[in-house]
């Protein structure tokens, strides 16, 4: 694939994108830590991601959840165990395979996810309040394009 840009200009811009993404990731992670710890002090930010996946997609097997977040099954299993202890998720028999289990949100889990989403939205709304809606739309489109470009190719 050829790059239609001057290599030096492209590389300079790419380095800036990489640096800004690193800052964005660190700040986003810090915000997620705060939100997750609001549920429980030992809750990892990855658990917030697991809750939102379950909220969005419904019941899932632990192996599917691990693949969705890109971590190992033991890591997800530990987070699921804590979420289960907190009453936010429950394990049930997988209807397509009675030997397997799937994880689902409890009623309390649904309520907590709704609250976390509200708080996350509030966090971004406060910090981006000075942005024009057109700028936010453009940012979302650029992020969508970048996410599509970075998606694993199977």
What are the structure tokens assigned to 44, written together?
């990892």
Q: How many CA atoms lie within 13 A of 46 on its CB side?
A: 17
pTM value is 0.73
- Picking from 72-81, 100-109, 145-154, which range would have the lowest pLDDT averaged per residue? 145-154
Give the 3-state secondary structure of residue 78. Answer: helix
**Domains of the chain and any CATH numbers:** 21-150 (1.10.10.10)
Asked if pLDDT for residue 108 goes beyond 80, the answer is yes
Residue 117 confidence class, pLDDT cut points 50, 70, 90: confident
């Amino acid at each position: 694939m050829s790059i239609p840009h001057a290599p030096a200009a492209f590389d300079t811009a790419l380095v800036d994108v990489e640096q800004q993404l690193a800052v964005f990731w660190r700040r986003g992670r810090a915000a997620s830590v705060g939100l997750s710890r609001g549920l429980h002090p030992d809750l990892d930010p990855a658990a917030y991601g697991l809750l939102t996946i379950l909220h969005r997609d419904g019941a899932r097997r632990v192996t599917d959840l691990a693949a969705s977040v890109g971590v190992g099954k033991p890591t997800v299993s530990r987070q699921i165990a804590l979420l289960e202890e907190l009453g936010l998720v429950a394990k049930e028999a997988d209807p397509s395979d009675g030997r397997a289990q799937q994880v689902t949100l409890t009623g309390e889990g649904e309520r907590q996810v709704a609250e976390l989403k509200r708080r996350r939205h509030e966090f971004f709304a406060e910090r981006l309040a000075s942005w024009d809606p057109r700028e936010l739309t453009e940012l979302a489109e650029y992020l969508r394009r970048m996410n599509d470009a970075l998606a694993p190719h199977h």
